[in-house]
Amino acid sequence: GAVVSQHPSRVICKSGTSVKIECRSLDFQATTMFWYRQFPKQSLMLMATSNEGSKATYEQGVEKDKFLINHASLTLSTLTVTSAHPEDSSFYICSAGDGKGPQHFGDGTRLSIL
Amino acid sequence: SQQGEEDPQALSIQEGENATMNCSYKTSINNLQWYRQNSGRGLVHLILIRSNEREKHSGRLRVTLDTSKKSSSLLITASRAADTASYFCALMTTDSWGKLQFGAGTQVVVTP
């Protein structure tokens, strides 16, 4: 089946650091990728939809200047958490799909801001 | 916002027993999907059922959909310890532009 690779799997860094998370579709072209945030024992919250070659679409309440998304190719989308603070600590997950069928998820990135 | 509501929130069963979890929703859907998440990992797609379908099977999994009641169920038969995970329903609504809206999830623990 389709494979989505997410890197890094875990990041621990100091407050004020910017952190980049990569999401790659390994065996298919993903014109659309999705970024989610998940708090412990809770569901996934969609943050933004990443469209190849165009600006990302952010969900209500998500700061686009805080969470920068770039989707420069059909196989790579990146999420950069700028000037991260402890409240940004969370589990971030990307997925890719065709908008009709199932989405294929990366393994997530555990972000811990000290 | 979560559009799907799942129950139970948690389920603890013995190996060999069946596990049933339910998902209710309020909007119109194109399809409803079920996913599994092992602790600290990404989600794995299990089954997609379209709005014009009533039942689908995949191995030990059975999904039903009742659009009149706006509800779906996931049944895991003859459960195994390896089925321990969180299970989420996800809605692809008619106005979602390809986005999925996830339920709160059911945490299933299968003990040997």
The per-residue pLDDT for range B13-27, each reduced to its tens digit, is 999 999 999 999 999
Q: Who contacts B44 (Cβ-Cβ below 8 Å, separation ≥6)?
A: A105, B35, B36, B37, B38
Q: Is the pLDDT of residue A2 over 90?
A: no
CB contact, 8 Å: A32 with chain B? Answer: yes
Instruction: Give the separation between CA A15 and CA A87, rounded to whole angstroms.
Output: 10
Average pLDDT, chain B: 94
Q: Which residues of A touch B35 (CB under 8 A)?
A: 105
Distance from CA of B32 to the nearest CA of A (A): 9
CB contact, 8 Å: A54 with chain B? Answer: no
Q: Is the pLDDT of residue B64 over 50?
A: yes
The per-residue pLDDT for range A93-109, each reduced to its tens digit, is 999 988 788 999 999 99
The per-residue pLDDT for range B89-103, each reduced to its tens digit, is 999 988 877 899 999
Q: Looking at chain B, which runs of residues are DSSP E strands?
A: 5-7, 10-14, 19-24, 29-37, 43-50, 55-58, 61-66, 71-76, 85-93, 101-102, 106-111
Average of per-residue pLDDT across A41-64: 92
Q: Token digits for B34?
A: 């079920």
Residue A1 — very low, low, confident or very high, per pLDDT cuts 50/70/90? low
Q: Is the pLDDT of residue B1 over 50?
A: no
Out of A44, A49, A104, the one facing B102 most closely (by C-beta) is: A44
Average pLDDT, chain A: 93
Instruction: Give the separation between CA B12 and CA B86, rounded to whole angstroms.
Output: 12
Return the ∠ at Cα B1 (arms to A52 and B94), rounded to 5°. 65
pLDDT the model gives residue A24:
94
Record: contact B105-A43, CB cut-off 8 A: yes
Q: Is the pLDDT of residue A85 over 90?
A: yes
What percentage of chain B exceeds 90 in pLDDT?
88
Give exposure, B49-70, as e/b (b: 16+ Cβ within 10 Å). Answer: beeeeeebeeeebbbbbeeeeb
pLDDT the model gives residue A53:
83
DSSP one-letter code for B8: -
Closest-CA residue to B85 (of B61, B105, B112, B60): B105
pLDDT the model gives residue A4:
95
Could you write out the three-class secondary structure of B64-92?
EEECCCCEEEEEECCCCHHHCEEEEEEEE
CB contact, 8 Å: A101 with chain B? Answer: yes
DSSP one-letter code for B32: E
Average of per-residue pLDDT across B65-74: 97
Distance from CA of B17 to the nearest CA of A (A): 24
